[in-house]
């Protein structure tokens, strides 16, 4: 079974982000970048399936500027076999990424596609589902457990208030949730070995995909400042505020 894993380069999750003063976006200059944590879980899962003898090859793909090769190399160091970089300077939206991945799926014919459930920058939670729809594949989103069986995959999904188990025909798309596994750290010798693993480069044009944006980002602002705290007189007032003003409980 060949597995395709799609990964994204994002701001390291430990970094406190700063909105640019002109509200045009988030300041990315000199900010530490990393593999999106959910993508890391996807890579880990693919490598585990390979180690368990259930997968024959793990191909990792990422789209973006040349810098994404850093994250591809991380994935190779973690155990992926080869990498594909889709080189573009365009700020990609989920739909464009899904189209790019669909083109890669057509070329590579993987039986399983693993993605993180969402990227921690855009928080879209769309690409896996979109890819599945475009490729006519079934999907198992927010996966917390996987079981590969003959011709199908059983996936346990984390849904609101519980778990759901589905059986999907292969090829299928799986998006990972936090509890699926705990990713390993890259070993130094493997980082060196990763340099010798193949990393191919292609472009949206070569894949025949139009990646022009469908959305216009008009402003990015910091969230509203914390209001000065207030004292409430009773538990009833507290619950009312949490529900109707702070809106943190439904």
User: Which residues, numbered 181-220, are part of the site for another protein (CB under 8 A)?
Assistant: 185-192, 195, 213-220
Nearer to another protein among residue 53 and residue 211 (C-beta):
211
Contact predicate 104/132, CB 8 Å:
no
Tell me whether strands 33-35 and 199-202 are parallel, antiparallel or unpaired.
Answer: unpaired
For 183-192, give one letter per residue: b (16+ CB within 10 A) or e.
Answer: beebeeeeee
3-state class (DSSP) for residue 12 = coil
Nearer to another protein among residue 84 and residue 101 (C-beta):
101
- For the bound state, the minimum distance from the C-beta of residue 92 to another protein, rounded and expressed in Å, comes to 11
Nearer to another protein among residue 81 and residue 93 (C-beta):
93
Q: Which 27-66 positions form the footprint of another protein (CB under 8 A)?
A: 32, 34
Point out which span in 42-50, 56-64, 152-160, 196-204 binds another protein (CB under 8 A).
152-160
Verify binding: residue 77, another protein, rule CB under 8 A. yes
User: What are the two backbone dihedrals, phi and then psi, of residue 48, each rounded to the nearest 5 degrees?
Assistant: -65, -40
Tokens matching residue 227: 């209001």
Nearer to another protein among residue 53 and residue 151 (C-beta):
151
- For the bound state, the minimum distance from the C-beta of residue 249 to another protein, rounded and expressed in Å, comes to 7
Q: Rounded to an integer, what distance in angstroms lies between the CA atom of residue 222 and that of residue 20?
A: 9
- For the bound state, the minimum distance from the C-beta of residue 79 to another protein, rounded and expressed in Å, comes to 14
For 47-62, give one letter per residue: b (16+ CB within 10 A) or e.
Answer: bbbbeeebbeebbbbb
Point out which span in 46-54, 84-92, 105-113, 162-170 binds another protein (CB under 8 A).
162-170
Contact predicate 209/103, CB 8 Å:
yes
Q: Rounded to an integer, what distance in angstroms lies between the CA atom of residue 3 and that of residue 122?
A: 25
Q: Rounded to an integer, what distance in angstroms lies between the CA atom of residue 83 and that of residue 195?
A: 11
Q: Which 93-112 positions form the footprint of another protein (CB under 8 A)?
A: 93-95, 98
Nearer to another protein among residue 53 and residue 235 (C-beta):
235
Binding-site member from 36, 74, 176, 181 for another protein (CB under 8 A): 74
Contact predicate 183/78, CB 8 Å:
yes
- For the bound state, the minimum distance from the C-beta of residue 124 to another protein, rounded and expressed in Å, comes to 5
Nearer to another protein among residue 53 and residue 110 (C-beta):
110
């Amino acid at each position: 079974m060949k597995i395709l894993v799609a990964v994204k380069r994002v701001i390291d999750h430990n970094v406190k982000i700063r909105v640019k003063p002109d509200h045009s976006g988030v300041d990315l200059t000199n900010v530490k970048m990393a593999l999106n944590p959910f993508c890391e879980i996807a890579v880990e899962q693919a490598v585990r399936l390979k180690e368990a003898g259930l997968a024959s090859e793990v191909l990792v793909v990422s789209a973006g500027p040349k810098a994404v090769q850093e994250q591809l190399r991380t994935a190779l160091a973690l155990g992926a076999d080869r990498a594909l970089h889709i080189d573009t300077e365009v700020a990609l939206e989920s739909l464009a990424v899904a189209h790019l991945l669909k083109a890669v799926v057509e070329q590579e014919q993987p039986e399983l596609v693993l993605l993180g459930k969402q990227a921690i920058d855009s928080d879209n939670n769309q690409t896996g589902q979109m890819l599945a729809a475009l490729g006519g594949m079934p999907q198992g989103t927010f996966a917390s457990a996987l079981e590969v069986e003959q011709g199908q995959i059983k996936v346990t999904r984390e849904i609101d208030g519980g778990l759901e188990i589905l059986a999907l025909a292969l090829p299928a798309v799986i998006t990972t949730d936090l509890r699926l596994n705990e990713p390993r750290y890259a070993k130094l010798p493997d980082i060196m070995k990763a340099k010798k693993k193949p990393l191919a480069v292609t472009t949206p044009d070569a894949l025949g995909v139009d990646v022009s944006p469908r959305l216009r980002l008009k402003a990015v602002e910091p969230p509203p400042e914390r209001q000065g705290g207030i004292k409430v007189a009773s538990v009833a007032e507290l619950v009312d505020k949490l529900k109707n003003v702070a809106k943190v409980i439904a």
